[in-house]
Amino acid sequence: MVTKKDIVKFLEDNGIRHDDIVAVHASLRAVGPVEGGADGLIDAMCEYLYDGLLIIPTHTWDDVIRDKPFYDVRTTAPCIGTLAQVAFERRDGVRSLHPTHSVKVFGKGAEEFVKGEEQCGSPAPAGSCLSRLYEEGGKVLLIGVGHERNTYLHSVDERLGIPDRLNKDHFVITIKDYEGNLIESPPFRTHFTEASDQCVSEYYPNYKEAFEYTGAVKYGKLGNATVYVCDAVGMTDTVRMMWQKTDHDLCIKEEKIPREYYT
């Protein structure tokens, strides 16, 4: 059984500060039994990050689509797992108004942090909560999952202007806020890569060795799960270096990236 004490020790041992901004993707099944379940994990992390912020993605990209362009911040449930569902149901955090890639933020300043997400015209543009992890020197914890679940890397694609990442055809999404007001999004472009047979996130693990080499990602253990402890700035700078050297798209098929691209 993973206890609150175990979670605190994990955070301390892996260099997480009390004032860090930390985004978490987790497979609770991979971790094993946790005291208090998903709520226990959230409670322990919130208590530890007493001067920081805990960010849990509550994405709805599978349900808020061209044929159903509607997002209600209060009722549109996440499509990505147990931790997201539990975070969505809690009332001590603030969920952003991003129609497809919302996050639930816990901690001081959460309401300010999520402001403006209804103006996003793509999954992770500059200024969005995920993208701001770069400016804020934030961390990403991948607990029992790999880079294929590292949503932050979509924001890196958008920050660097990686080609062939967004659908050319846009549509407008109606957003219902906490007060019941209806807001129209800007023309919205979803993730789409014409040259790939699936979402490029499935090929983000191609970056794994590069992140290890540059120190952008280190590893820890929580319960039975391996945890990728990711530095947002380090990952971004590593991806930027590789894309400055490559002559082809690095994430449209499984491939080993040459070391000279990141050294």
Q: Contacts by 125-132 with C-beta closer than 8 Å and gap 24+?
A: 125/155, 125/158, 126/158, 126/159, 128/98, 128/101, 128/155, 129/55, 129/96, 129/98, 129/103, 129/105, 130/23, 130/101, 130/103, 130/154, 130/155, 131/155, 131/158, 131/159
What is the reported pLDDT for 183? 98
What is the reported pLDDT for 46? 98
For the chain, which ranges sit under pLDDT 50? Answer: none
What is the reported pLDDT for 101? 98
d(CA 107, CA 128): 18
pTM exceeds 0.75, yes or no: yes
What is the reported pLDDT for 100? 98
What is the reported pLDDT for 174? 98
What is the reported pLDDT for 200? 97
What is the reported pLDDT for 157? 98
What is the reported pLDDT for 84? 98
From the list 127, 145, 243, 133, the residue with the least C-alpha distance to 201 is 145
